[in-house]
Amino acid sequence: SDPQSLSQLFALDSLLDTEEIAIRDTVRRFADEKIRPHIGEWFEAAALPVRELAEGLGELGVLGMHLEGYGCAGMSATAYGLACLELEAVDSGIRSLVSVQGSLAMYAIHHYGSEDQKQEWLPRMAAGKAIGCFGLTEPDFGSNPAGMRTGAKRDGDDWILNGTKMWITNGSVADVAVVWARTDDGIRGFVVPTDTPGFSAPEIKHKMSLRASVTSELVLEDVRLPESAMLPEAKGLSGPLGCLNEARFGIIFGAMGAARDCLESAISYAQDRQVFDKSLAAYQITQVKIADMALEVGKGHLLAYHLGRLKDRGVARPEQVSTGKLNNVREAIAIARECRTILGANGITLEYPVIRHANNLESVLTYEGTSEVHQLVIGKALTGEAAFR
Ligand code: TGC
Ligand code: FAD
């Protein structure tokens, strides 16, 4: 009989409306036509044409697409999630670019910024003509951003920032950095144009994961900023953590894109590959692997759609976002590794997307809260005990 798609098996489209399906299909077409043909090469060379891509993604309307006004598309959270899913089906690095731009840098300005900050940056960022990054992590403080050492001190009406941020996506190519720093008044956010004297962003090289993504250090040496550079509405750690909820939400969908792409590749490979007497797909062991992975892809999509509906109603809680990020990334990486076994030796080359997804997902498992941090968030929600410290 004719094989079904994963989407048909779970009747996934029955849970989406026609507008959501249209957005999903448009992003999938863009990703397949404009990005997929080049992605293996970009990954191998560790060189992503960020500016060119950002302008294309801006025209597509996915940068800050779930934000209202200022040139943003004002789409639903679910539509944004579906876009992340289709972009990450090609490569986690592309979804990262979009997450950091829209959910972290733009969201921070949109949610906590002054009217002037919004007018200055958001329309250009939505169009992909200005690139943003988000500096929270430091060399010694990743899971525990509360310990950050980067500081902002007053000098007359100005602020002087000093410190180092680490592992910052888009850092070296950004026009603007949202930087979180300790002040006498607690942790505050600053909008830092990257041409400000004292700011530099050396790129981190030799990554074996997310090679189609720019990752950088941010060095701030006596960076002088006017009073107006501070985000007025973000006070304390809840400011940056509020942005993380947005980006984590996109990853819940995105990780399922990577998983789907791996499984589709593995099924197609197994159908073509002859081993011993017949096609690899006709052996029971292969079918057990495929069936078990399909269940996780289906369940992961259902969880993502459910959380999308909660978010669209404005009721998704951080610990619910943690359940999705933990489950879907953990399952996606397990699926990528299992699919790699089906491809045999071919599975280790960039001719197929599987090893690239598997390697990328190592970063996705760690950033936006490691799987252990999300276990602790869920543990705290269920026991009432915070076990972070
Ligand atoms: P804790 O005392 O629990 O909370 C401090 C304040 O923050 C509030 N809060 C949140 N607010 C919004 N959303 C959340 N998810 C929140 N979690 C906590 C909390 O209510 C409190 O508010 P207030 O008003 O009472 O002060 O904080 P803690 O220091 O004990 O830490 C908790 C912990 C470990 C969960 C948190 O620090 C954490 O999530 N750590 C992980 C850090 C992380 O995820 N970093 C990601 C950096 S960005 C990145 O990785 C980009 S990757 C590129 C891409 O996305 O593609
Ligand atoms: P650590 O916090 O040192 O953790 C090391 C290990 O200890 C992990 O297994 C962790 O789960 C475990 N651990 C930590 N605390 C506990 C605990 N309380 N109990 C039990 N186990 C614990 N950050 C940004 O701010 N902006 C970005 O744009 C950005 N982009 C990134 C891009 C890439 C490619 C990568 C890899 C990272 C990026 N990050 C970014 C940083 C990312 O958010 C951090 O790497 C992440 O939060 C983990 O911090 P860490 O690497 O310092 O690990």
Ligand 1 pocket test: which of 48, 238, 243, 251 has the largest number of ligand atoms within 8 Å of its C-beta? 238
Q: What does the alpha-carbon distance between residue 272 and residue 386 come to, in Å, rounded to a whole number?
A: 51
Chain centroid offset of residue 203 CA:
19
Confidence (pLDDT) at 2: 84
Find the 31 Cα to ligand 1 centroid distance in Å.
Answer: 31
Chain centroid offset of residue 27 CA:
16
**CA angle, 305 then 84 then 366, to 5°:** 95
Per DSSP bridges, beta strands 199-200 and 176-183 are unpaired
Question: Region 250-274: what's the mean pLDDT?
Answer: 98
Q: In this structure, are residues 243 and 100 in contact, taking their beta carbons and an 8 Å threshold? A: no
Q: In this structure, are residues 130 and 99 in contact, taking their beta carbons and an 8 Å threshold? A: no
Question: What's the pTM?
Answer: 0.98
Question: Region 69-96: what's the mean pLDDT?
Answer: 98
Find the 363 Cα to ligand 2 centroid distance in Å.
Answer: 9
Q: What percent of the chain has pLDDT over 90?
A: 99
- What are the Cα distances from residue 28, in Å, to 35, 101, 235, 262? 10, 19, 38, 16
- Residues whose beta carbon lies within 6 Å of some atom of ligand 2: 100, 134-137, 142-143, 167-169, 210, 215, 363, 366-367, 370, 372-373, 388
Give the number of whichever ligand sits closest to the CA of residue 46.
2
| Residues 39-63 pLDDT 10s | 999 999 999 999 999 999 999 999 9
Q: Which among 86, 138, 331, 368 is annotated as catalytic?
A: 368
CB atoms within 10 A of CB 99: 28
Q: Which two tokens stand for residue 16?
A: 């989406």
Question: Region 84-111: what's the mean pLDDT?
Answer: 98
| Residues 295-319 pLDDT 10s | 999 999 999 999 999 999 999 999 9
Q: What does the alpha-carbon distance between residue 250 and residue 247 come to, in Å, rounded to a whole number?
A: 5
Q: In this structure, are residues 157 and 227 in contact, taking their beta carbons and an 8 Å threshold? A: yes
Q: What does the alpha-carbon distance between residue 72 and residue 82 come to, in Å, rounded to a whole number?
A: 17
> Which helix (H) or strand (E) is 162 found in, with range?
strand 158-169
Atom of ligand 1 nearest to the CA of 369: 44
Question: Region 128-150: what's the mean pLDDT?
Answer: 98
Question: Region 101-118: what's the mean pLDDT?
Answer: 98
Complex ipTM: 0.99
The torsion region of residue 64 among left (phi > 0), alpha (psi -120 to 50) and beta comes to left
Confidence (pLDDT) at 258: 98
Q: In this structure, are residues 199 and 220 in contact, taking their beta carbons and an 8 Å threshold? A: yes
Residues in the chain: 389
- Residues whose beta carbon lies within 6 Å of some atom of ligand 1: 96, 99-100, 134, 136-137, 143-146, 169, 236-238, 241-242, 244-245, 247, 318, 367-369, 373, 377, 388
Chain centroid offset of residue 304 CA:
14
- What are the Cα distances from residue 217, in Å, to 49, 181, 240, 335? 19, 15, 18, 31
- What are the Cα distances from residue 212, in Å, to 42, 134, 165, 357, 364? 6, 18, 21, 11, 13
Atom of ligand 2 nearest to the CA of 140: 52
| Residues 222-243 pLDDT 10s | 999 999 999 999 999 999 999 9
Confidence class for position 32, pLDDT limits 50, 70, 90: very high
**The one-letter amino acid at 158:** D
Annotated catalytic residue 368: yes
Q: In this structure, are residues 359 and 339 in contact, taking their beta carbons and an 8 Å threshold? A: no
Instruction: Give the three-state DSSP class for 1.
Output: coil
Find the 217 Cα to ligand 2 centroid distance in Å.
Answer: 14
Confidence (pLDDT) at 265: 98
